[in-house]
Amino acid sequence: MAHQQLLPMGDEFSRDERELSDIDSFVKAGRAVFTVLNEETGNRFTYRVKRHKRKRSLYFVSVLTGSDNVHDYTYIGAIFGKEFRSTKRSRVTEDALSFKAFAWFIRNVRTLPNSVKVFHENRCGRCGRALTVPESVKNGFGPECIKKV
């Protein structure tokens, strides 16, 4: 089985081989921001996946559509359990590349080919705080949050 890494953004990429399930845990940790790069197509999108406060299997997915890494997100749809779909509030259609790319990504998150790279933003996937410890940068989780995912 192919291994895939969750990579920190920036100059130093982790060299450690990581299991695909770690990317899955990161994406569904609660406050994940990550970039998916498909080296075959050249497509690259930064997504934010937020968990609903009470419904633990419901996530809201937005895509970065501007240069402001905090505010320029456009809501595209929701993950209900294992299904990703658009909702009334979605601001892109299901034909949009950002929507189709995420639908494909989340369906294949445990079997991503090596040509698909996933980068975190040096922020904890669970709480959103900046990661400082090298071990945390490698994992995508702060030292407290890693115990809870």
31-38, strands of its sheet edge to edge? 6-8, 116-120, 31-38, 44-51, 58-64, 73-80, 83-85
Nearer Cβ to Zn ion, position 9 or 127?
Answer: 127
| Per-residue tokens: 114 | 């090596």
Nearer Cβ to Zn ion, position 98 or 139?
Answer: 139
- Least Cβ distance, residue 94 to Zn ion (angstroms): 32
The DSSP call for residue 91 is: S
> Distance (Å, rounded) from C-alpha 16 to C-alpha 5?
8
- Least Cβ distance, residue 31 to Zn ion (angstroms): 8
Query: Contact residues for Zn ion (CB under 5 A)?
Result: 124, 126-127, 142, 145
- Least Cβ distance, residue 57 to Zn ion (angstroms): 20
